[in-house]
Amino acid sequence: MLTSFFGKSNPVNFLILGAFIIVGYLLGAISGSSIIITSFSLLNHGFFIVLSVLSMLLLDFIIRKNHLTKNNTFAILFFTCFLVMLPVIFLQHKILLANAFLLLAIRRIMSLRSDKNSSKKILDASIWITVASLFYFWSLLFFIPLFIAVLQKPNTNYKQILIPFTGFVAVLMINTAYQLMVTDSLLWFTNWQDAISFDFSRYNSAAVLVPITVILAFYIWAGIYRVLKLSMVPLKERPNYLLLLYLSITALLVALAGPEKTGAEILFILAPIAIIVTNYIENFETERYVEKDVAEFWFKEIMLWLVVVLPFVFLFL
């Protein structure tokens, strides 16, 4: 049973999910583009396969370090399955890079609940967000939850509010120096900002539209439940409970603001959604059945099987 298998944190879980990502990447690359086998292409695809697996492992690290879920691997299961549902993601390497840097930023943002080394964490988060914006401009929107986290943390002072600007300017200066050395030009700055596009014509494909609909349905369902449960969350835990919701909304705005809608931009919301859905199934209780534990078990089991089976179904769309 998937509930008992992924309800624990065993090394084999990570091996299975890592292999699932590798297979999903290879199938996505084969079906989505014509592959010309060269040493460079092999190294290039190998790098992004490793990056995709490391993103899953980084998400698990963020969850464990900040106790965002119970001790299980449900969140990375959701993340992996959602990722493989949309193979088009694996063809957008800039989005994969931007998402990896944003995960590094989220790691620092969520850890601000602890007041230890706050200034360093804020600087790191601002640097990672700015680096991500070099690959996907609208990643800069993640400065919003960063400032929210800074303002709601204990012992905030005005110096810490200014730190994100320092990280932002530092990355821009380094990149400007690099561009001057390589291209002898500052044109990168004029081409940096991406236009916002609302052309969703590529979503007309069932291979894109159906998986996105399923993922957003999970998000809306679990997100509404999360909001309704807010009053039951202890005051001490409420700021970080809401922070994850803010991160998910910001990620959705980042995806919507993209210059090109291919479906790959959904990657930005997968990590927050995976955590929110996991919290939902962890806290799910039903009073409509006498045998409450049995009903809860089968609800979780069906949901997990649905998420695992759907990526294989979508391969034939």
Q: Per-residue pLDDT tens for 247-265? A: 999 999 999 998 889 999 9
pLDDT computed for residue 316 by the predictor: 67
Distance between CA atoms of residues 80 and 52, nearest Å: 9
Distance between CA atoms of residues 308 and 246, nearest Å: 27
Distance between CA atoms of residues 313 and 85, nearest Å: 9
Buried b (16+ CB within 10 A) or exposed e, 62-95: bbeebebbeebbbbbbbbbbbbbbbbbbbbbbeb
Ordered alpha helix ranges (H), 183-228: 187-192, 206-228
Q: What is the pLDDT of residues 2-33, one digit of tens each?
A: 888 888 888 999 999 999 999 999 887 776 66
Answer left, alpha or beta for residue 233, where phi above 0 means left and psi between -120 and 50 means alpha.
Answer: beta
Calculate Rg over the CA atoms of the chain: 20
Q: What is the pLDDT of residues 165-183, one digit of tens each?
A: 999 999 999 999 988 888 8
Residue 195 has pLDDT above 50, yes or no: yes
Residue 75 carries which side chain, given as an amino acid letter?
Answer: A
> Mean of the per-residue pLDDT values for the chain?
88
Q: What is the pLDDT of residues 82-121, one digit of tens each?
A: 999 999 999 899 999 999 999 999 999 999 887 788 899 9
* Stretch among 9-13, 46-50, 188-192, 274-278 having the lowest mean pLDDT: 188-192
Residue 53: which of 86, 76, 33 has the closest Cα?
Answer: 76
More confident residue, 284 or 53: 53
* Stretch among 7-11, 33-37, 241-245 having the lowest mean pLDDT: 33-37
Looking at the chain, the whole-number percentage of residues with pLDDT higher than 90 is 56
Residue 34 has pLDDT above 80, yes or no: no
Query: Which residue in this structure is represented by tokens 């204990």?
Result: 154
Distance between CA atoms of residues 307 and 291, nearest Å: 25
pLDDT computed for residue 298 by the predictor: 76
Q: Which two three-digit tokens encode residue 300?
A: 């979780």
User: Region 300-306: what's the mean pLDDT?
Assistant: 86
Distance between CA atoms of residues 44 and 28, nearest Å: 15
Helix H or strand E encompassing 312: helix 292-314
User: Region 182-197: what's the mean pLDDT?
Assistant: 82
Q: Which two three-digit tokens encode residue 136?
A: 């996907």
Is residue 12 helix, strand or coil? helix
Ordered alpha helix ranges (H), 111-186: 118-135, 143-152, 158-182
pLDDT computed for residue 287 by the predictor: 40
Cβ atoms within 10 A of the Cβ of 205, count?
A: 13
Residue 285 has pLDDT above 70, yes or no: no
Residue 301 has pLDDT above 80, yes or no: yes
Residue 35 has pLDDT above 70, yes or no: no
Distance between CA atoms of residues 166 and 30, nearest Å: 43
Distance between CA atoms of residues 72 and 249, nearest Å: 25
Contact 96, 267 (CB under 8 A): yes
Helix axes 74-85, 206-228, angle to 10 degrees: 150
* Stretch among 104-113, 157-166, 285-294 having the lowest mean pLDDT: 285-294
Contact 208, 88 (CB under 8 A): yes
Residue 68: which of 81, 52, 79 has the closest Cα?
Answer: 79
